[in-house]
Structure 1
């Protein structure tokens, strides 16, 4: 495909992923009033896993042993992040959850710098302060963060690790296999979480439609697109592209969900988004090589 600008196409692809993810917050918030967190996630990713296996059965078999190990590690990380984020969503609004989840864009360069022992520049610290302030405006109740925000913040850190790993290990050739095996591992992680209370399924047709949409569009397809796109982008640039997720989440939650637009959402969201873009715009050159692409 000569003449194709893969980085630009990858950014556009990640924006579509962000839109798909953003659309799930208010749907999930509603669904969790009738389903357990782990049950919902296990079912969602089981459907996604089956779909990927049916589309391209040999994909996992073609992975090297090293790639399989990496996919398992990525899947465990992502699965735990999903459990934390979704449980956190039960205790906070869809809009706040979307913005707090977006903190992974700040964690990505910071964790990349720590893991690779790179010096953190002053602009990165400015971004951290901005994001922390925005998080406080969005989420602080009195002098402490709420339970839901803390769980979601922990998930954001795990998502950052997933972005770093995916950026280092994904290639155009292994994208489908890596996505398929990750999805199976994510399903297993969520299924383990569902074991103590037993397993339940949606009770209405509308709930099934929501689960299937989130499994196929915001699950299977989104992970394939993300894995392919990150083969062409640095982790920080990928994270920046995906920061549109909280913007989409808030938009969908206000337009189609039960959330109301508040000054806290506007001010806090603006600060968090400013921090997200500052990470990319100010220290771009310093973080361009934050994670070497290790896949062979």
Structure 2
């Protein structure tokens, strides 16, 4: 069940690339992020109001930290998508798996196992084949997306430390609320005004990303990671570009080339290897 939770969350995140691109055609990055997480917070408010979940300072502090890291992920990825293609964004975001191994080495003071390194390299290789059609209009988007990958690795490890003893609903709600609050600060900067969408498709993108890709998906990850561990979660998340590619084919009519199929097989094989391991790597 935890693996299924992560696959569902990854399915939503894979679709989010297309919806984000659609939304950014009408509104700014700051406006999209604020409205997305405002929707996410509002969608979880009834659950918090009618539940017996009690707040405590420790969970609030951890939720704010996770929210800040998530804001870094979303903000940097969205900024990157303004100047680079969704394919390149998917590949660069996948570099988080390299950062995961680096953090693991720093924390545990030991070199990652051969299996970890091999599956990570296979995933990155498969990701490179899957997203081969790189299109760069501004190199700064590359830097933004690499920063997003670093924040993603830090988030996975922070959630790994916090999720075991926290209520998943409460932790997710605090994350959504803190991201909404912090992103609203951006509108205090000169020339950065809140833009309200007028196109139905933009609102559909905001609602989908707010409810499915934020409140539901982060709750699913919180529930799953306490059982799977950081490294297994990071491997499963490699399904995201596969789902992104599938949606692009069916919705945008993009074609898959032979190397893309090879890339998908490499990623799926790596995920299979990790899931049959008897001992999870923490």
What TM-score bracket applies, with the shorter chain setting the length? 0.7 to 0.9
| Contact map agreement 2:63 2:172 (CA 8 A) in 1 | yes
Q: Does 1:51 align with 2:46?
A: no
Counterpart of 2:177 in structure 1 is 184
| 5+ residue gaps, structure 2 | none
Q: Give the superposed CA RMSD.
A: 3.1
C-alpha distance 70-60 of structure 1, shift in aligned 2 (>3 A) = farther
Shift of 1:22: 0.8
For residues 222-261 of structure 1, the aligned pairs below 5 Å read: 222-257=217-252, 259-261=254-256
Q: Does 1:208 align with 2:203?
A: yes
Q: 3-state SS of the aligned residue for 1:98? A: helix
- How many residues are aligned here? 277
For residues 141-160 of structure 1, the aligned pairs below 5 Å read: 146-160=139-153
| Contact map agreement 1:18 1:245 (CA 8 A) in 2 | yes
Residue in structure 1 matching 2:156, options 130, 153, 163 = 163
TM-score by length of 1: 0.80
| Contact map agreement 2:12 2:213 (CA 8 A) in 1 | yes
Deviation track 1:37-90 (CA, whole Å, cap 9, x = no partner) reads 111011000111111122223779723322221111111011111100111112
TM-score by length of 2: 0.83
| Contact map agreement 1:104 1:156 (CA 8 A) in 2 | yes
Shift of 1:224: 1.2
For residues 86-165 of structure 1, the aligned pairs below 5 Å read: 86-127=78-119, 130=122, 138=131, 146-165=139-158
2: CA distance, partners of 1:79 / 1:30: 20
Deviates more, 1:15-24 or 1:54-63: 54-63
| Contact map agreement 1:94 1:253 (CA 8 A) in 2 | no
Deviation track 1:215-266 (CA, whole Å, cap 9, x = no partner) reads 1111111111111111222111122222211110111122213645356755
Counterpart of 2:66 in structure 1 is 74
| 5+ residue gaps, structure 1 | 1-8, 291-296
